[in-house]
Structure 1
Amino acid sequence: MTRESFNFKVSVIVPVYNAAKFVRKAVESAVHVDEVGEIILIEDASPDNALEICTQLEKEYDKVILFRHPNGENRGAGASRNLGIVNASCEYVAFLDADDYYLSNRFEVDKIKFQDRSVAGVYNAVVNVNLDKADFHKIYTIIKPIDPDKLFHYLLRGTYGHFHTNGVTLKKDLLDKLRGFKTDLPLHQDSELWLRCALAGKIVAGCIAEPTSVVVTHGSNRITSKSNKSKLKYWLSLMEEVSVGKIGPYNYLILLRNVFLKMTSFMDILNVIRRIRLL
């Protein structure tokens, strides 16, 4: 397949909640990128005037499409991303939080990697900047390319790092197959989905040496803390998706270790026993 014959267009999904000050920058960082076919805004009943700004952006840019949940309800980031996935018209899907923004190189390597039609997803480096700490910069990345067959194992262990939602591009049919994000998880919906993606498709390294987007940390971010309780729920949710037969004894032991490290009560132990699957 030649580069000329490969039509690489991405649906960028942006959940919007309480981000009136930031969403324009997010949209405008993506709207002029050649590989972006559409930007789907999901306004999630923001308490600020984000809906007004999203409506303006839809009028200004042909690529921007605005959706809301039924009756204008607030349903959270995972449900908002899922609504975007359902309505995406491009073969490829990427995500961008409304208070973050893409850099100009966001899809440069993705476009090359996806010319291999067996590739189902690409992960890239992301930089985190803190508006309250001018000298704070943290890179979210996988520090070395990983064989796709081993990606689940290394994400489970965290050996070589993790990737951020803003740096992931996936085939829409993979997301459809996996039914998107689990909305019953209050946190870690993205990490849980990336593990399932690593099991279900060929996910490869893109631009991992330099950032392709920026995560902005500020006082009004929707999620500010991650407790042991939420992490336990995340690992238990993953246990419902896998078995020893599916991921192998060694990976299952690692998963059990992750679960046990977050348990704090006898009821947690019973909960784990109930979810253990051998086949």
Structure 2
Amino acid sequence: MLKISVIIPVYNASAFLKKAVESALQFEEVKEILLIEDCSRDDSLKVCQELTLEYSRVQLFQHPDKGNHGAGATRNLGLKKASQEFIAFLDADDYYLPNRFDAEKELFKNEKTEGVFGAIGTEFLTEKGKEKFKEKFNTNTLSTVNYVAEGQKIFEGFFGNGKFLGAFFSLIALTIRKSALERESLQFNEKLRVHQDSDFITKLMYHCHLQTGIIDQPISMRGVHDDNRITSVINYSEDYYNKQMLLAESRYNWAKEQKAMPKEILLNFRLSYLTYKIGLTPTPIKYFNFVWHALQNPKLFKTRYRFLALKKHG
């Protein structure tokens, strides 16, 4: 039987937290639920304390200074505290469905498999949240990938020039061997207040042998409401470009350090970073540098990056 630690970062989520926790408690495989409270301004800490009293598998932790450190640092603290062989993630405003670990029970019998991920659904908890979500992500409520894949085919499918695997997958649909994270010293970039999950998943796809699980139906549900971090960033605003640039910069700096990184994917990350960097602070030398790299591989440039940030400068 799988033995799983579920890590839940908690920040201003008192209205949703109990449902999230109880959705994880339904599984015998979940041996501990780690609530990492990040200095909430609502009653989340009180709800956490009540849940630890009600359920023996629920544990509560805070940062040593009891301050607010962001989702990256909060999840990293959860990784340090996790004691089980497998780790799963859940946000405090999301929840698991009954099929959450069905694929994992079979796929993890293969010791080569280090991580499994599936599809997530979307539940709109408020009308304003629904409007903001659809404006940002269109009307698709099932987030999944296009085909079954494993190993390096997953990384190449997201960032290479071949068959496109899909848009993304979510942490709340991922189960990973703790030993794989420890082997590669993988953790969240604490400098990223937004997109630290996308940054972490990128590194995970490269370093670990992942495999698709259930991709034709959701195994977890994402709750969308007025205060979601990701929907609060308005497309094509200065804030949007800044946050996209920080993610692109983190990916590119990491990719440069990987000796076996395919050249076309390294260029992909570089173009992404320069797109946002130039768009935010255009200068002749940066523009020349960007165009020079684009000309080295025009097909990649046209299909992946279309001067997204430069558009706002006319």
TM-score by length of 1: 0.89
1:71–1:252 CA distance, 2 compared to 1 (3 A): closer
Identify the residue that residue 13 of structure 1 maps to in structure 2: 7
**5+ residue gaps in structure 1?**
1-6
Corresponding position: 1:160 with 2:166: yes
For structure 1, which segment, 151-160 or 7-16, has the greater mean C-alpha deviation from structure 2 after superposition? 151-160
Match of 1:251 among 249, 265, 285: 265
C-alpha deviation, 1:256, in angstroms: 2.2
Structure with greater strand percent = 1
Corresponding position: 1:79 with 2:73: yes
For structure 1, which segment, 239-248 or 46-55, has the greater mean C-alpha deviation from structure 2 after superposition? 239-248
1:245–1:99 CA distance, 2 compared to 1 (3 A): same
Q: Distance in 1 between matches of 2:93 and 2:65?
A: 24
Match of 1:197 among 184, 200, 204: 204
C-alpha deviation, 1:154, in angstroms: 2.0
Identify the residue that residue 126 of structure 2 maps to in structure 1: 132
Report the 3-state secondary structure (helix = DSSP H, G, I; strand = E; otherwise coil) of the residue aligned with 2:46: helix
1:137–1:237 CA distance, 2 compared to 1 (3 A): closer
Is 1:174–1:197's contact at 8 Å kept on the other side of the alignment?
A: no
Larger radius of gyration: 2
For structure 1, which segment, 208-217 or 155-164, has the greater mean C-alpha deviation from structure 2 after superposition? 155-164
Identify the residue that residue 37 of structure 2 maps to in structure 1: 43
Is 2:146–2:165's contact at 8 Å kept on the other side of the alignment?
A: no
Is 2:147–2:165's contact at 8 Å kept on the other side of the alignment?
A: no
C-alpha deviation, 1:81, in angstroms: 0.7
Note the 1:230-269 alignment, pairs <5 A: 230-243=243-256, 245-263=259-277, 264=279, 265-266=281-282, 269=286
Corresponding position: 1:182 with 2:189: yes
Q: Distance in 1 between matches of 2:262 and 2:186?
A: 23
Corresponding position: 1:225 with 2:233: yes
Is 2:252–2:273's contact at 8 Å kept on the other side of the alignment?
A: no
Is 1:93–1:170's contact at 8 Å kept on the other side of the alignment?
A: yes
Corresponding letter in the other structure for 1:131: L
Q: Distance in 2 between matches of 1:269 and 1:102?
A: 45
C-alpha deviation, 1:141, in angstroms: 1.2
Corresponding letter in the other structure for 1:129: E
1:65–1:129 CA distance, 2 compared to 1 (3 A): same
Is 2:71–2:193's contact at 8 Å kept on the other side of the alignment?
A: no
Q: Distance in 2 between matches of 1:269 and 1:246?
A: 27
Is 1:123–1:205's contact at 8 Å kept on the other side of the alignment?
A: yes
Corresponding position: 1:145 with 2:148: yes
CA RMSD of aligned residues (A): 2.3
Is 2:154–2:165's contact at 8 Å kept on the other side of the alignment?
A: no
TM-score by length of 2: 0.79
Is 2:38–2:66's contact at 8 Å kept on the other side of the alignment?
A: yes
Identity fraction in percent: 34
Report the 3-state secondary structure (helix = DSSP H, G, I; strand = E; otherwise coil) of the residue aligned with 1:127: strand
Identify the residue that residue 108 of structure 1 maps to in structure 2: 102
Q: Distance in 2 between matches of 1:255 and 1:196?
A: 13
Q: Distance in 2 between matches of 1:237 and 1:162?
A: 17
Match of 1:170 among 155, 173, 176: 176
Identify the residue that residue 119 of structure 1 maps to in structure 2: 113
**5+ residue gaps in structure 2?**
132-138, 235-239, 294-314
Identify the residue that residue 3 of structure 1 maps to in structure 2: none
Q: Distance in 2 between matches of 1:22 and 1:10?
A: 22
Match of 1:34 among 28, 32, 35: 28
1:97–1:219 CA distance, 2 compared to 1 (3 A): same
Identify the residue that residue 50 of structure 2 maps to in structure 1: 56
For structure 1, which segment, 102-111 or 214-223, has the greater mean C-alpha deviation from structure 2 after superposition? 214-223
1:146–1:131 CA distance, 2 compared to 1 (3 A): same
Q: Distance in 1 between matches of 2:179 and 2:248?
A: 25
